[in-house]
Each structure stands twice: as C-alpha cells, then as structure tokens.
Amino acid sequence: MCIEIKGVGNHSLCFATKEKCMDNLKEWIEEVLNENGCHLYDLEWITNQGTPLLRVSVEKEDGTMDLDTCASCSDVIGQMLDEKDWYSHEYMLEVCSPGAERELRTDEEVQRAVGKYVFVKMKNPKQGLDQVIGDLVEATKNDVTISYRDKTRTKKITIEKSNIQLIMTAVKV
C-alpha cells in the first residue's frame, strides 16, 4: 500500500510505502514523547472509516496515564506533525492511553510491568494451571515469575516465556 507524504527530512517524498511512513512517524513521535516523559505504546494508521485516523497510544514511563498528560502529548504530537507537514490530505489524530488491560508484546514491556498485576495464559499447563493472574515479581530473559493467590495461600509460579501464549496487564478487583 502506498500513501502520499511530503516533508521527510530535507526531502519531499511522494508515494512512499506505508511501512516507511510509519517508521518515520514512529521515530518522530518517540522523540517528542521522550522529551515529555512518555513513551509510545502503539501507532496505527486506520483508513477504512472515511477520514484517515492516526491513532497514537502513549503512556508515562511508569506505565500510567492521565487525561492532562494525554492532552499535552496530543498537543506536542499535533504541533510536530503540522511542522513536518507529513501528509498532504485531511486526517484525524487520536492520542490515547493503551488501556488498563493491555498485552505486553515485548521483553521491554514485560520488564516494565514487574510489580504490576498481570494475566498469563500458557500454551501448555504448568502445575495444573493453564492461566494465572497475580503480581509479576520477576522477569528474566527466559521466564517470568508470578505471585498469585490460591484460596488463602500465596503461591509463586515460574513460567518459561516460550510457554506464554498471552501476557497482559490486568485490573485487580
């Protein structure tokens, strides 16, 4: 898929691939977010709903997000994109949090979630469990350790990363 862009660096490019455009956008957005104490969780370009939508999911370095920070990130991202004049047609910018319950997709995201409440679904059962919900107490290169409640007892389980089908932050109720 190709989209028309302009103003990439000192050059004007037309019909760059979507992947190249997204790589440039990601780099630019990460730079302004880092300057504002936040980081990029996800970047989506959605074109199937009329006016194209650039959805930017951001969070603070501690993994939280609030409305004021979201609004200020939207302002700095919008201003930067206007200055870059990166897209020659109308589009909408949506800056949001990734949500309280979100998938941890990389080792870095898992590492940042240490100390947080998580849900883990395993490919193969371990200790009679195929899923566990509890506190992520440790994340190493090869496995994660979860502290969870079994009735009135607190237990720990270490799960190899190769056995994880899904790991995501969870809300404790």
- The larger pLDDT score, comparing residue 117 to residue 9, is at 117
Residue 76 CB: number of other CB atoms within 10 A? Answer: 16
Q: Give yes or no for residue 11 having a pLDDT over 50.
A: no
Q: Give yes or no for residue 130 having a pLDDT over 80.
A: yes
Residue 74: the pLDDT is: 96
Say how far apart CA 7 and CA 83 lie, in whole Å. Answer: 9
Say how far apart CA 121 and CA 106 lie, in whole Å. Answer: 16
> What does the pLDDT look like over 20-44, one tens digit per residue?
888 989 999 999 999 999 999 999 9
For range 9-28, the mean pLDDT: 69
Backbone angles phi, psi at 8, to 5 degrees: -90, 115
Residue 38: the pLDDT is: 95
Token digits for 24? 């440039």
Say how far apart CA 38 and CA 68 lie, in whole Å. Answer: 13
Helix pair angle (67-84, 18-35), 10° resolution? 130
Count CA within 13 A, CB hemisphere, residue 107. Answer: 8
Residue 16: the pLDDT is: 61
Q: Please tell me if the domain spanning 2-96 has the same topology as the one spanning 107-169.
A: no
Q: Give yes or no for residue 145 having a pLDDT over 50.
A: yes
Q: Give yes or no for residue 2 having a pLDDT over 70.
A: no
> What does the pLDDT look like over 48-98, one tens digit per residue?
878 999 999 999 988 788 999 999 999 999 999 999 888 888 899 999 999
**Cβ neighbours of residue 43 under 8 Å, at least 6 residues apart?**
22, 25, 26, 29, 54, 55, 56, 57
Superfamily of segment(s) 107-169: Ribosome maturation factor RimP, C-terminal domain (2.30.30.180)
**Domain boundaries, given as residue ranges, for the chain:** 2-96, 107-169
CB 146 within 8 A of CB 164: no
CATH number of 2-96: 3.30.300.70
